[in-house]
């Protein structure tokens, strides 16, 4: 069993790199996602007895590293993009989140006995991941103190159901499209989009796009990240009842929208690496 902290950290970095590589090379891996691949690989290694189920390395990753990743990823968010989405898309998104929450709560009530009273945590984690992706999966699970054993099970079930859901979302619109007139296409714009995609299909992917990294930018991102993590914990202790993750995300979004922070390069890349 690999228990040495340095070697265990190297192994975690290695399976993270493997997940990124699979995501880049294979469509099935892209469907599952690098985040889920990393979690599945980790669960497999633990169940095979190659790595321990608990370690100070895991505590560091699930604690400060994940908090920093959340800050950096939110630095890369631009709320102004909501204007491009439009009211129709936002309304559809809100309806989808509400339906997901209702389904998760219903399932928690029906199967509470099977999870020894932790079904409500499962409902929170699943609602989070289907509303906001893997970032929410990790953040909500950590804040709710989701049991490690259920974490692995939830990851596996999420990966399976995500594949089924992706299949449904690809097939159902095709079937429904037969009942609607075909929209008019801008052929010039379509050809331009196809040419851009053919030139570099991964140009905008957060895992594989190139970024002009500077030591100054990385230093500032580290300082801001640790500073906001400390501030969120301090405010959460002073104002009991509000989870620190809510303060952390609020602070990160506010600071991330200041002009000088938006000029820093590497937040998305650091956040993507830290989350995995």
**Each residue's pLDDT tens digit, 1-48:** 777 888 888 988 888 888 888 888 887 777 777 777 887 787 788 778
Other C-beta atoms lying within 10 Å of the C-beta of residue 249 = 20
Q: Is residue 194 part of a domain?
A: no
In a domain, 202, yes or no: no
Looking at the structure, do residues 252 and 156 belong to the same domain, yes or no?
yes
End position of a domain, from candidates 28, 53, 78: 53
CA 107/CA 13 separation, integer angstroms: 35
Statement to judge: residues 145 and 63 lie in one domain: yes
* Residues 252 and 140 both lie in one domain: yes
Domain count for the chain: 2
In a domain, 81, yes or no: yes
Alpha helices in 33-118 (DSSP H): 34-47, 56-60, 66-75, 82-110
Nearest to 141 by CA among 230, 61, 205, 72: 61
Report if residue 124 sits inside a domain.
yes
Segment 86-110 shows an average pLDDT of: 85
Whether residue 192 lies inside any domain: the answer is no
Same domain (yes/no): 38, 150:
no
Those residues whose C-beta lies under 8 Å from the C-beta of residue 53, and which sit 6 or more positions away, are 46, 148
Q: Are residues 48 and 63 in the same domain?
A: no
Q: Quick one: pLDDT at residue 197?
A: 47
Q: What pLDDT, on the 0 to 100 scale, is given for residue 208?
A: 65
Residues 141 and 25 in one domain: no
Q: pLDDT-derived band of residue 228, with 50, 70 and 90 as boundaries?
A: very high
Higher-confidence residue of 228 and 175: namely 228
Inform me whether the pLDDT recorded for 223 exceeds 90.
Answer: yes
126 and 227 within one domain: yes
Same domain membership, residue 150 and residue 260: yes
Instruction: Look at residue 188 and tell me if it is in a domain.
Output: no
What does pLDDT average to over the chain? 78
More confident residue, 56 or 226: 226
Residue 25 lies in a domain: yes
Structural contact between residues 249 and 135, judged by C-beta atoms closer than 8 angstroms: no
For the segment 67-94, what is each residue's pLDDT rounded down to a tens digit? Answer: 888 888 888 887 777 777 677 888 888 8
Residues 25 and 65 in one domain: no
Q: Are residues 31 and 135 in the same domain?
A: no
Residue 226 near residue 68 (C-beta atoms within 8 A):
yes
- Residue whose entry in the numeric block shows the structure tokens 């265990």: 8
The highest-confidence range among 37-41, 47-51, 205-209, 223-227, by mean pLDDT, is 223-227
Structure-token pair, residue 59: 């505590």
| 168 shares a domain with 31 | no
CB atoms within 10 A of CB 71: 28
Q: How many CB atoms lie within 10 A of CB 144?
A: 18
**Of 9, 26, 53, which residue is a domain's last?**
53
Q: Would you say the C-alpha torsion 144, 150, 152, 155 has a positive or negative sign?
A: negative
196 domain-assigned: no
Domain span including residue 25: 1-53
Residue ranges in the chain assigned as alpha helix (H): 5-25, 27-32, 34-47, 56-60, 66-75, 82-110, 119-132, 134-143, 148-176, 187-199, 215-238, 244-256, 259-262, 267-275
Q: Which of 53, 72, 89 is the last residue of a domain?
A: 53
Residues shown for the chain: 276
Contact 207, 34 (CB under 8 A): yes
Q: 255 with 119, same domain?
A: yes
């Amino acid at each position: 069993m690999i228990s040495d902290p340095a070697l265990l950290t190297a192994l975690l970095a290695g399976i993270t790199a493997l997940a990124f590589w699979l995501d880049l090379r294979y469509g099935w891996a892209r469907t599952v996602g690098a985040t889920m691949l990393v979690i599945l690989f980790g669960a497999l290694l633990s169940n095979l007895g190659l790595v321990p189920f608990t370690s100070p390395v895991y505590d560091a990753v699930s604690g400060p590293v994940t908090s920093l990743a959340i800050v950096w990823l939110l630095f890369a968010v631009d709320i102004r993009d909501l204007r491009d989405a439009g009211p129709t898309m936002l309304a559809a998104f809100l309806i989808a989140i509400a339906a997901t929450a209702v389904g998760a709560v219903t399932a928690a009530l029906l199967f509470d006995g099977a999870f020894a009273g932790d079904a409500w945590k499962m409902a929170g984690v699943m609602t989070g991941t289907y509303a906001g992706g893997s970032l929410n999966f990790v953040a909500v699970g950590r804040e709710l103190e989701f049991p490690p054993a259920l974490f692995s099970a939830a990851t596996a079930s999420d990966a399976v159901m995500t594949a089924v859901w992706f299949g449904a979302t690809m097939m159902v619109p095709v079937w429904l499209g037969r009942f609607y007139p075909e929209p008019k296409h801008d052929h010039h714009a379509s050809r331009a989009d196809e040419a851009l995609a053919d030139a570099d299909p991964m140009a905008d992917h957060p895992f594989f796009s190139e970024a002009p990294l500077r030591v100054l930018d990385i230093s500032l991102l580290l300082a801001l990240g640790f500073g906001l993590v400390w501030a969120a914990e301090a405010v959460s202790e002073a104002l009991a009842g509000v989870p620190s993750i809510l303060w952390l995300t609020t602070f990160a979004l506010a600071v991330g929208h200041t002009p000088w922070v938006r000029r820093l390069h590497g937040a998305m890349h650091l956040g993507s690496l830290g989350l995995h």
